[in-house]
Amino acid sequence: MLTELWNDAAGGFHPASAPDFLPEERLREVQLRRLKAVVARAYDKVALFRSRMEERGVRPDDIRSLRDIARLPFTVKADLRDTYPFGLFASPMSDVVRLHASSGTTGKPIVVAYTRDDVDVWSEVMARTFAACGLHRGDVVQNAFGYGLFTGGLGAHYGAEALGATVIPISGGNTDRQIMVMRDFGVTALCATPSYFTHVIERAGELGVDMKALPLRVGVFGAEPWSDAMRARIQADAGIKAFDIYGLSEIIGPGVASECDAHDGLHVFEDHFYPEIIDPQTGEPLPDGAEGELVLTTLSKKAMPMIRYRTRDITSLLHERCACGRTIRRIRRIGRRSDDMFIIRGVNVYPSQVEAALLAVEGTLPHYQIILSRDHGLDQMAVEVEVTAEVFSDKVRALEDVRARLAHAIEHILGIRVDLRLVEPRSIERSQGKAKRVIDRRNA
């Protein structure tokens, strides 16, 4: 690495970020060259891609401009499951240096592979992520993303090392130890899921540790949607700047997109991951600025190229130049997933809508859980909300009033009746990774 020769001290421009500032014309050239190469590779090496392209009558040399990407077939998560474990690999196992797998909440997990070059690209985009979050050589990064088959831990680890920062590979869980390390090792930045970090804040309070007095100044959060209100709370309670990052194993892991200091959308590292927005119903491409489903094509992946992968994440693509000067486009913060959404009595509901209602009433986000059930064929939605010291009262009327206001706020946003239940503190299971916000018992 050439980092030694660059000004990568605090406050300076980090060399890892250079591709973020490519002139647009140059960026499109790089993308087109890489797109042609990856489509040719996928067609040559992966049976599924070749047969899908043949069905559509598309050949690799039909890709002459970036617009031609719309002629290519989509790839979906089921394709990875159906070809489990190695069916979409474009490299022989002798060139694969790493395998990861998704947690696989339903049935078989999905497996993803990396060549040496892929790992280098991944380290680069994660270094660019951390640089965008204002980290430098000299920062001490506590990496509480899970290590193991999950891509979060090792992805962030390699990126922080490539940046020149000091990494503490603590992984997730064991909250008391997290707090001890954070305090004793002079940690300046922490990576975690936002829901786990709120748990860390809560526990630090119980242990009498003042997070605001610690050197911790940056939080890098990802792997699940979180609201702006939750960000405001995290920033105020921990005295840090909280950044949203985005990624998915099927594409590379974390490192697909990251916020910068402007906190106005996430820059997609589009020299490696080509973004499109489509109408999730029709599959038609939508123009920049329109909201729809994010579709990504890996432009430089070797072991496992992905062509037009449907992420199920709902966002829009921002073309306007960002205040930070980066030329790469941004996606809006992802508040919802098209598969996180559930339908109850014909109404589309996203957990983030419930979250917004709870925040509006309580000022802070209490722990909550949505429980869906079916009673005599009719869908019921219950929201369990833990009672906090802020809202608890010795008067029944005051608590009934809190309950009614919470229910009303949710009903107002969703337009459907909810059974709002106040539950005892800490009765809802705490997540060490992604928060489980919805329990669907309708088909139990």
**Would you tell me which residues interact with another protein (CB under 8 A)?**
387-389, 392-396, 399-400, 403, 421-427
Give the whole-angstrom CA distance, residue 430 versus residue 132: 30
Pairing between β-strand 368-375 and β-strand 438-440 as defined by DSSP bridges: parallel
For another protein, give the closer residue by CB, 235 or 393: 393
State the number of CA atoms in the 13 A half-sphere of 254 facing the CB. Answer: 33
For another protein, give the closer residue by CB, 101 or 358: 358
For another protein, give the closer residue by CB, 334 or 420: 420
Shortest Cβ 367–another protein spacing (Å): 12
Shortest Cβ 305–another protein spacing (Å): 50
Shortest Cβ 168–another protein spacing (Å): 30
The residues, ordered by sequence, that sit 6+ positions from 426 with a Cβ below 8 Å of its Cβ are: 367, 386
**Tokens 């809560």 sit at which residue?**
202
Shortest Cβ 205–another protein spacing (Å): 12
Shortest Cβ 183–another protein spacing (Å): 22
List of long-range contacts for 361-364, beta carbons under 8 Å, 24+ apart = 361/402, 361/405, 361/406, 361/409, 362/388, 362/390, 362/391, 362/406, 363/390, 364/233, 364/388, 364/390
**∠ CA 91-93-96, rounded to 5°:** 75
Shortest Cβ 379–another protein spacing (Å): 20
* DSSP string for 146-179: PPSSSHHHHHHHHHHHHHT-EEE---S--HHHHH
Enter the tokens of residue 11: 């406050």
For another protein, give the closer residue by CB, 396 or 444: 396
For another protein, give the closer residue by CB, 28 or 421: 421
Give the whole-angstrom CA distance, residue 46 versus residue 92: 11
**∠ CA 380-385-390, rounded to 5°:** 150
Nearest CA to 163 among 11, 14, 326?
14
Shortest Cβ 426–another protein spacing (Å): 5
For another protein, give the closer residue by CB, 363 or 425: 425
For another protein, give the closer residue by CB, 334 or 387: 387
Give the whole-angstrom CA distance, residue 309 versus residue 443: 29
